[in-house]
Structure 1
Amino acid sequence: MFGLIGHSTSFDAARRKASDLGFDHIAGGDLDVWCSAPPQLVENVEVTSATGKTISGAYIDSCFVPEMLSRFKTARRKVLNAMELAQKKGINITALGGFTSIIFENFNLLQHQHVRSTTLEWERFTTGNTHTAWVISRQVENNAPLLGIDLTKAKVAVVGATGDIGSAVCRWLSSRTGVAELLLVARQQQPLKDLQAELGGGRVLTLDEALAEADVVVWVASMPRTLEIDSASLRKPCLMIDGGYPKNLDAKVASEGVHVLKGGIVEFGSDIGWTMMEIAEMEKPQRQMFACFAEAMLLEFEGCHTNFSWGRNNITLEKMDFIGAASVRHGFSTLNLQGQPQAVVV
């Protein structure tokens, strides 16, 4: 059995969803009430692979909302409690989605393995970052040519290059795609220099410098709300992959010749019959989902119950090959610029 741990996109959205589910005592509460609300298993589903194999899964709402991010102890408790619930339900492999994965990594929750009387078994959980990195990499490969961008002659900027997903995308594009040049952007300089040395190339630039030169921009860093991007300074055409969370890059760079694609989202080959992706505001909520969620499904399909994506900078090309091949085999597709699935061959 696979599990997915997620959350609503805002406090208002969470209250509406709680009301729809009949949790009126939570729906009517203020943010303090929600801070104390326990996680809820809100949906059970069955999913059938393109191979014919059927698996069962569950969606757990952590009752976390982005407005709680500034409350360190609350955010930590929300994620750990949701993980405890998944383990108590006997779920074999559970993916952390949205901010739950970010909180787990940034707040170093590996130091908090004991939740009340439960000792969390880390092998039951995955961040899903390997599949996300593979999907974003393939979205670059599949969609750049649609705009007339030859990757062997193109400059590709990776914003958030030293993160778990960003560094994996850099490795893939450098080794498998043969891009002309990688432009590396991140906040801390030493990790950037270390990544540059590992890759054996790439230029370390500021954000403004990289955006002015890039034919393709892969954005996998958190985006400050106050950030402003001068669309006139971007190259035309320019492919921008919005691989961050929440996905708001299109509102920042709306301009003719700048093409924004929601990154790290996959589409399944048939309707799943769930409601959980309506919370995530997917265009096709019966089929589309975050690639990190799909990783848990793929690991369950493959009978690979392990923390496949874990920690930072542990994503290898071999792991990306494995999860990418499984993704195609079981019926998942990446998205192209028109919002339609684009099958890939591996």
Structure 2
Amino acid sequence: MTAVPFAFLVHPRARLSDDLARVWPPLGRVPERLADRAVRRLPLPPVTMARVHLTGAPDPVGRVVLVPLGARHMLESPHAARDRVGAAVDLAVRRGASVVGLGALTATVTAGGTTLATRTDVGVTNGNAFTAAVVDDQLRSVLAAAPDRPRRVAVVGATGSVGTTLVRLLARDRAVEHLTLVARAGGRLGTLAGEVCRRVPTTVSTDLRDIRTCDVVVLLTASADALLRAEHLAPGVVVLDATQPRNTSPDLLVDRPDVTVLDGGVVDVPGLRLRGGDIGLPPGRSYACFAETVLLGLAGHEGHFALGVPTLEQVDHVRGLARRFADVGFRPAPPTTFGRPVPIATSTPADLRTRDTGGAGSAASTRAAAVPGSHAQTDRPDADAALAAVGAVR
């Protein structure tokens, strides 16, 4: 099957004036407050932010389309955000895209893409099948690095699109000793726990403080702020933050030097290059949701793919595509913490806080960017406020 062109939707994640200046340079000179007001009130159109190139392909294989709404705008005004996402999909179709991927909160505000299911002019995917697969692989690497430790895992945001799929993967393979599922919606939690508890002992909670019994915490929430605080975590815990925008702050490592925070959902695609903009990752790295869109484009996929909660069959299928195109990459990236390289098995928490390579993983690379990915926030809501975001569909 012949490859087809694709588009991937992103949005500003933190400082709007910085992010939007990549497309509209004058906005880089205005105060953040005015940029926020402009984005809320002006009918800013979606725009191509970058063109996607792969080594060996003479022409661009896809494009990155910017939806001019920040993370907080997306969550506070989902209906307006949905309209903006629809306009971005329209632009992608006009530019020839056959597949459109939903980055970060563009998936959340469209209920995992289900509000776009009636479109017949383009295939849509939320990117969450491959995200769940990559996070699953990363989690197993964390567990394998300390085989003598208990395998008690918390999934925060367990009833979301990625969370539900990850829980089902872990239960299918009995990959952990115990699951603690945390989300805002107790009813959906109970249903999911009832589905998997016969294969893996499972408890549920709507309180973040209950993850203190766990050795590894996988964070899969939809929020514009950092959620985890020092008091939520057990001594020596590993946090795999696969949120986009990310829901951990570097301050956590200052308050808790015994804690390891790893960046989740990042893959190596060595031949991948963006021209005209970036998504906050060094060349050759991609978020898994973006990579899923690239894989579908390379495979010539027709029609919709992952909408809502991906099935395990879809996870297996996209893993098969990653194997098929293994010469391009699509493997989990080496471990990083806030963009800085770190070997899981040998580095101490102090290494995580102080190592600076001076390159793509340096402090400069954690700047705000218009991406489907993460940015460290410094807001520190209490546990009850934090749970207001837990369980939303990514």
The corresponding residue for 1:324 is: 319
> Structure 1 residues 166 and 267, CA, compared in 2 at 3 Å: closer, same or farther?
same
Aligned residue type for 2:335: L
The corresponding residue for 1:44 is: 51
Contact 1:133–1:165 (Cα < 8 Å) also in 2: yes
Distance 2:6 2:342 in 1: 24
**Alignment of structure 1 residues 208-287 onto 2, 5 Å:** 208-223=208-223, 225=225, 227=227, 229-231=229-231, 234-251=233-250, 253-254=252-253, 255-277=256-278, 280-282=279-281, 284=282, 286-287=283-284
SS across alignment from 1:241: strand
Aligned residue type for 2:170: L
Q: 1:294 and 2:291 equivalent? A: yes
The corresponding residue for 1:180 is: 177
Deviation of 1:323 (Å): 1.0
Gapped regions of structure 1 (runs ≥ 5) = 114-119
Contact 1:267–1:341 (Cα < 8 Å) also in 2: no
Per-residue CA shift, 1:52-75, capped at 9, x if unaligned?
A: 898711111112222423234431
The corresponding residue for 1:337 is: 335
Aligned residue type for 1:157: A
Deviation of 1:30 (Å): 4.2
Deviation of 1:144 (Å): 2.6
Aligned residue type for 2:292: E
Q: % of aligned pairs identical?
A: 25
Contact 2:65–2:88 (Cα < 8 Å) also in 1: yes
The corresponding residue for 1:8 is: 12
> Structure 1 residues 9 and 238, CA, compared in 2 at 3 Å: closer, same or farther?
same
Per-residue CA shift, 1:64-103, capped at 9, x if unaligned?
A: 2224232344312211100111122221111010121111
> Structure 1 residues 319 and 134, CA, compared in 2 at 3 Å: closer, same or farther?
same
Q: 1:104 and 2:72 equivalent? A: no
Q: 1:77 and 2:83 equivalent? A: yes
Q: 1:89 and 2:98 equivalent? A: no
Question: Normalised by the size of structure 2, how large is the TM-score?
Answer: 0.73
Distance 1:65 1:243 in 2: 19
Aligned residue type for 2:320: A
> Structure 1 residues 122 and 164, CA, compared in 2 at 3 Å: closer, same or farther?
farther
Contact 1:219–1:241 (Cα < 8 Å) also in 2: yes
Contact 2:93–2:121 (Cα < 8 Å) also in 1: no
The corresponding residue for 1:307 is: 304
Deviation of 1:214 (Å): 0.6
Question: Normalised by the size of structure 1, how large is the TM-score?
Answer: 0.82
Gapped regions of structure 2 (runs ≥ 5) = 344-394
Aligned residue type for 1:163: G
Deviation of 1:33 (Å): 3.9
Deviation of 1:290 (Å): 1.5
Distance 1:66 1:7 in 2: 7
SS across alignment from 1:183: strand
Distance 1:33 1:159 in 2: 34
Contact 2:235–2:258 (Cα < 8 Å) also in 1: yes
The corresponding residue for 2:160 is: 163
Contact 1:48–1:55 (Cα < 8 Å) also in 2: no
Contact 2:51–2:274 (Cα < 8 Å) also in 1: no
> Structure 1 residues 248 and 7, CA, compared in 2 at 3 Å: closer, same or farther?
same
Structure scoring higher RCO (CA < 8 A, sep ≥ 6) equals 2
The corresponding residue for 2:126 is: 127
Distance 2:113 2:169 in 1: 27
| Residue of 69, 73, 81 corresponding to 1:68 | 73
Deviation of 1:248 (Å): 3.7
Q: In the comparison of the two structures, how many residue pairs are matched?
A: 321
Deviation of 1:104 (Å): 1.1
Distance 2:342 2:48 in 1: 29
Deviation of 1:110 (Å): 4.2
